Structure 1
Amino acid sequence: MVDKVVRLEDAIATIDDGDTVCVSGFVGIGTPEGLVRGLQDRFLAHAAPKDISLLFAAAPGDGKDRGLNRLAIPGLVKRAIGGHWSLVPKLGAMAMNNEIEAYNLPLGCISQLYRDIGAGKPGMFSKVGLHTFVDPRQSGGAINDCTTKPLVELMELAGEEWLFYHAVPVDVALIRGTTADRHGNITMEREALTLDMLPIAIAAKNSGGLVIAQVERIAANGSLDPKQVIVPGNLVDCVVVAERDEHHQTYKTPYEHAFTGRMKADVGQPVPMDLTERKIIARRAAMELPVNGVVNLGIGMPEGVSAVANEEGVIDNITLTTEAGVLGGVPQSGLDFGAAINANAIIQTNQQFDFYDGGGLDLACLGMAETDATGNVNVSRFKDRFAGAGGFINISQNARKVVFVGTFTAGGLKVAINDGKMSIAQEGRSRKFINQVEQITFNGAYAASQGKEVLYVTERCVFKLGESGQELIEVAPGIDIEKDILGQMDFKPVINDVKEMDPSILGEAPMKLRTRLLAIPNSDRLFHDKQQNIVFVNLSGLTIETEEDVRIFEHDMNSFFQQIGQKVNLVSNYDGISISPKMAAKFANVLGQLEYDYYLTATRYTTSAFLRQKLGQDLKNRSISPHIFETRQEAAAYIAANRSD
């Protein structure tokens, strides 16, 4: 067989004028820095290749000079199609200045599109991007005026709107691994992520293109464990051994065992965040964390939620994820973003987005650069600065609940906290709550029409999304609504019942969040909507391990319903509930007694398929109708259709 290990210069010489070059990488993880630098050097020396097209999902770059920033040279790039752009600002500037054709498509859609390109399909259908700037009814993802060829089409299938993302044939794929043999088999044991190396390679090979891989070492032929081979040699044309300083695990960290899962690190005691507006926002957002739920935290402000969860001792009661493919562990930030210490699993990026798009996320906590009265959010474009959407659209459209976080104003904001009250020492120069966002990265009206639960959390107040737009629901102690909130907005939100934000958010001491999330008094789990005669029961985090737990639950529930004095319709949330197998029958007996004595109709919902099956069977065994749904909306809709008044 041919020895595929070649010099960098020989590998890069295979790239021709006008080729479409797909580049792997998530920030610095998996970014083939040596190959990209080699392409830069060749163009500077020989003015070739010219007019290439770049295809990338997650902005391989450091925000300065590395990664695709190296290729921002007039004449080298003609077109760029990318998911995240903020870390490739030099390329982004060329796009904003109409120097290159440029598109911004959702990161997850590009990642998934690699598979369809490889499968020889004409493109991919997705609902992700509907009613955002990616929708052809807005800009179709085009960044500038010189970008005219449509890559996204609006289509109707079975009476529903879908977006069709056109396939982009790949001429050259630049990928990265850890070890290769001379036949081109690639493993990734020292990489922090596996990303989309295999789909990218298949996309190039089945497009009739070339695959060039950067690795840090060469192994003897036949010595690699076949189960560890991520990209098989039949897909690889050239292998280049990288210089040591061009193959760091991330742009920040040369190598960390705990990023790979090869070792569990002792993370020690978390260092508490300083009590600033950042921590105040993170604390309020952390109160929305779903017990035993799956969560995605965006980059920037949302990263503080992870720190608060760690500080408050609830990090083990949620599964944090990153769109790069990490599940569990402690996600990292900055130029380590995408990696995690002590992850439970690391899967391909396209697989992670399959999970996200299908509704696997219980909560997404994302940044909020600017928002308007209808609840639209923009995080992607601001006048002459272009960041791109990244995975934001996939995540915000498909998570069951979304919490947007950000300061109320930007640019110089300073808050003061005295005696448990907040005051604005210096207001920010720029408003974030404006009449109309510059670009729609999240469509509030579309989300509201789907019944999605959405919060907008700032240091001084909280809004929720409703059918009429944003509604002010909480205000921090010490904040004046007229002066500090309405006086700093371009629109007036809906104002009904405004509550005070929990004062513990402003204290130096821990909030005792673990107790709040895991030990909710039964009395706080029950709410009677008298107008609709519906009782909403939140059993999230309830633990039933002993007969005493069953007895307390039975007593508290009976006391509540006896006080109402009439039968009611019931909607119960069973997400995150833990029932000991020994107590399951006794717990079901209590549910049966409650239904017989107090309920007109009863529906239950949980995202746990196992719990739906187990609880449903227990109720059937007691001749109780087991109306158990996956979401609160489904349960409430059933009540509305079958309610007995």
Structure 2
Amino acid sequence: MSAAEAVELIKDGDTVTICGIIGALVPEKVLSALEARYLQTGAPRHITAVFPVAVGDVYGISGADHLAHEGLLKRVISGSYVTAPASAPPPKLVEMIYKNKVEAYNFPMGVLMHLHREIAARRPGLITQVGLRTFVDPRLEGAKMNKLTQEDLIELINLHGQEYLFYKSFPINVAIVRGTTADEFGNITMEHEGSFSIVLTQAMAAHNCGGKVIAQVKRVTTPGKLNPQLVKIPGIMVDAIVIDEDQKQATGITYDPAVSGEISKPLRQIEPVPLSIEKVAARRALMELRQGDIVNLGFGIPSLVSPVAAEEGLIGKIFFTIEHGAIGGIPLAGLQFGAALNPEAIIESTAQFDFLTGGGIDAAIMAFAEVDAQGNVNVSRLTKIPHVLSGAGGFIDILHSVRRIIFCGTLTAGGIAAEIKDGRLDLKKEGKVIKCVRQLQHRTFDAQFALEKGQEVIYITERAVFRLKPEGLVLTEIAPGINLDRAIRPVVNFDLRISPNLSLMDERLFKAEPMGLKNSPAWV
């Protein structure tokens, strides 16, 4: 079936769930055809688009932006949104949201994925504590992203004396998913993909709601040729197959079999991370880990921890996970985030989030955009430049039950520059954006809730390390070469609590050669 014919299945007012992970798993040909149909005919109108993960990038894969037209969209519910650099124009859909042109919600990614499972089973909704005391909580913003958005989709309830959030189910009329190969019966395999995401759950939700499933694939084969153990979406759920021989594996990757787990690439082929303030922070985060740890890495600087671990010879001594399903290997960084090089296993994202929110990992290393004196964190919205942050993503889900939380980033942002030499840090230019603030613009992490749950929390930057204590954020380490009164106090916009045992960060962090961690007691 052509893409133009497939999108005729979408009707006015439909709720459409769409797969994708930034530039990976994007059904680009189908979305492009849907946009073309609307521009040519004015139909369909007033659809609700559901994106469990951001779909598309700003480097050639338009993804969700194909739907960014007034009249086409009524509402968007997403776990994350496409981002762009601060100096670049915002993605079209994000611009619509912040201009109040479309209703918009930002659910925790894992919650939205699990909600699809509830919808598929025709249950009334999802009950969970994930999202409590964050912007998702209806006592704060209820996950609403603008003033146009008024309907409450989340309720606060009490069960056996404890607070929970109830995320209401809604019918799904169409699922647009992607795989690698289809047979003529509609069975779909994903052998060239780095993640299975929740394509099965999306297809099942649409099918069980009496809707349609459109699948984009790279190729079609005859019945009986696919290994049934590799089929991720059974043909009994699929209504239309669209072929796109040019679909990309991820942003900047046409196809790499080491990402889909078909081969293993020698670690010596992985380029070392150049010495920078970002690498310093990633190295210091790595030093918080120990042999045998299962660690989930977030987007941004945390994704550098895995190649740094490879440089230190620690792959196999710790095990990295990412919320999109990869276990083991080296998670990819930047806009290729969502898959891993040389994964040991790839599981569906709904199962991965069961593992994560159930406390299956030992530590999580996550980025931060703002932190306040109490240790609360914002990673989901900056009012003046909302397009630089993707929303909650899997952040809230991942941090809900993990024992050790490691926040990792630079102390300021926007033009920060430094020289790293001979085990010391020399700050040359301060960043324009203050990240240690008196008042968060958005609350994505509640520090008091973490303390009540007994979680250990540390905040790592290139020049300072803080730990969460009952009284709030406490400075415990500073970088060699950094003056507390000149380079830290002026960029911390709250009263700084300083540990009586304030120490220097390890000078090995600031040297070009590997730190030799594999020979330290924690790794032997």
Aligned to 2:310: 310
Counterparts in 2 of 1:227-238, with a 5 A limit?
227-238=229-240
Counterpart-to-counterpart distance in 2, 1:469 and 1:484: 21
| Residue 321 of structure 1: how far off its partner (Å) | 1.0
**Paired residue for 1:342?**
342
1:137-156 equivalent positions in 2, closer than 5 A: 137-156=139-158
One-letter code of the match for 2:301? M
Deviation, structure 1 residue 419? 4.4
* Correspondences of 1:503-518 after superposition (within 5 Å): 503-516=507-520
Deviations 1:364-391 (A, max 9, x none): 1111111100111111100141421100
Matched, 1:299 2:295: no
Q: Which amino acid letter does the alignment assign opposite residue 338 of structure 2?
A: G
For residue 229 of structure 1, what is the amino acid of its counterpart? V
CA–CA separation in structure 2 for the residues paired with 1:205 and 1:286: 44
Partners of 1:321 and 1:359 lie apart in 2 by 13
Q: Which residue of 2 aligns with 1:208?
A: 210
Structure 1 runs (4+) deviating above 4 angstroms are none
State which of 495, 500, 518 in structure 2 corresponds to 1:492. 495
Q: Deviations over 1:474-502 (max 9, x none)?
A: 11112221221112211123223211111
User: What are the residue-to-residue correspondences of 1:219-368 with 2, within 5 Å?
Assistant: 219-242=221-244, 244-245=245-246, 247-368=247-368
Q: Equivalents in 1 of 2:297, 2:411: separation in Å? A: 19
Is 1:290–1:363's contact at 8 Å kept on the other side of the alignment? no
Q: Is the 8 A contact 2:17 2:174 kept in 1?
A: yes
**C-alpha displacement of 1:462:** 0.3
Query: Could you tell me which amino acid in structure 2 is paired with residue 181 of structure 1?
Result: D
Secondary structure (helix, strand or coil) at the match of 2:9 reads coil
How has the CA–CA distance of structure 1 residues 190 and 462 changed in structure 2, closer, same or farther, with 3 Å as cutoff?
A: same
Letter in 2 for 1:128: V
For the pair shown, which has the larger CA radius of gyration, 1 or 2?
1
Alpha-carbon shift at residue 270 of structure 1 (Å): 4.1
Deviates more, 1:194-203 or 1:256-265: 256-265
In structure 1, the partner of 2:47 is 52
Q: Which residue of structure 2 aligns with residue 120 of structure 1?
A: 122
Does 2:425 align with 1:430? no
TM-score, with length taken from structure 1: 0.78
- Cα displacement string for residues 234-278 of structure 1 (whole angstroms, at most 9, x for unaligned residues): 111111122x23x12113111111122222222325433222211
> 1: distance between equivalents of 2:58 and 2:23?
10
1:192-227 deviation per Cα after TM superposition (whole angstroms, max 9, x unaligned): 221111111110011111111111222112332222
Counterpart pick for 2:467 among 464, 468, 490: 464
Q: Which residue of 2 aligns with 1:409?
A: 412
Question: Hey, what's the Cα distance between the residues in 2 that align with 1:486 and 1:223?
Answer: 65
1:7 matched to 2:27? The reply is no
Where does 1:42-191 land on structure 2 (aligned, <5 Å)? 42-63=37-58, 66-87=62-83, 89-191=91-193
In structure 2, the CA distance between the partners of 1:192 and 1:273, relative to structure 1 (3 Å rule), is: closer
Tell me if structure 1 keeps the 8 A contact 2:374–2:472: yes
In structure 2, distance between residues paired with 1:129 and 1:375: 17
SS in 2 for 1:381: coil
Amino acid at match of 2:444: T
Paired residue secondary structure (2:259): helix
The SS at the match of 1:198 is: helix
Mapped contact 2:38–2:44 kept (Cα < 8 A): yes
Q: Deviations over 1:328-353 (max 9, x none)?
A: 01111233221212110000001000
Q: Give the CA deviation at 1:85.
A: 0.8
Deviation at 1:186, TM superposition (A): 1.3
Structure 1 residues 265 and 422, CA, compared in 2 at 3 Å: closer, same or farther?
closer
RMSD, matched Cα: 1.5
SS in 2 for 1:120: coil
Looking at secondary structure, tell me which structure has more helix per residue.
1
Q: Which residue of the partner structure matches residue 371 of structure 2?
A: 371
Identity rate of aligned residues, in percent?
43
Question: What amino acid maps onto 1:416 in structure 2?
Answer: E
Q: Which residue of 2 aligns with 1:581?
A: none
Give the match's secondary structure for 1:454: strand
Pair 230,165 (structure 1): closer, same or farther in 2 beyond 3 Å: same
Distance in 2 separating the partners of 1:419 and 1:329 = 32
Q: Is the 8 A contact 1:271 1:311 kept in 2?
A: no
Q: Which has the higher contact order (CA 8 A, sep 6+)?
A: 2
CA distance in 2, matches of 1:176, 1:509: 43
Task: Tell me which amino acid in the other structure corresponds to 1:207.
Answer: C
Q: Secondary structure at the match of 1:200?
A: helix
CA distance in 2, matches of 1:184, 1:422: 58
Alignment size in residue pairs = 513
Superimposed CA distance per residue, residues 527-546 of structure 1 (whole angstroms, 9 cap, x where no aligned partner): xxxxxxxxxxxxxx56xxxx
In the alignment, the residues of structure 1 paired with residue 369 and residue 223 of structure 2 have an alpha-carbon distance, to the nearest angstrom, of: 51
Instruction: Report which stretch shifted further, 377-386 or 259-268.
Output: 259-268
Cα 1:441–1:420 shift into 2, 3 Å? same
2: CA distance between counterparts of 1:55 and 1:290?
39
Q: Deviations over 1:584-634 (max 9, x none)?
A: xxxxxxxxxxxxxxxxxxxxxxxxxxxxxxxxxxxxxxxxxxxxxxxxxxx
**Cα contact 2:363–2:402 (8 A) shared by 1:** yes
Query: Residue type of the partner of 1:364?
Result: A
Q: Which amino acid aligns with 1:159?
A: G
TM value normalised by structure 2: 0.95
In 1, Cα distance between equivalents of 2:367 and 2:102: 28
- SS of the equivalent of 1:36 reads helix
SS at match of 2:202: helix
Q: For residues 268 and 508 of structure 2, what CA distance do their matches in structure 1 show?
A: 25
Tell me, what secondary structure is at the counterpart of 2:71?
coil
Q: Does 1:502 align with 2:506?
A: yes
**How do 1:606-645 residues align onto structure 2 when only pairs under 5 Å count?**
none
- Whether 1:451 and 2:460 are equivalent positions in the alignment is no
Distance (Å, rounded) in 1 between the aligned partners of 2:147 and 2:69: 20
AA in 2 matched with 1:192: G
Find the partner of 1:20 among 15, 33, 37. 15
Deviation at 1:398, TM superposition (A): 2.2
SS at match of 1:439: coil
Amino acid paired to 2:58: G
- 1:239 partner SS: strand
Partner residue, 2:88: none
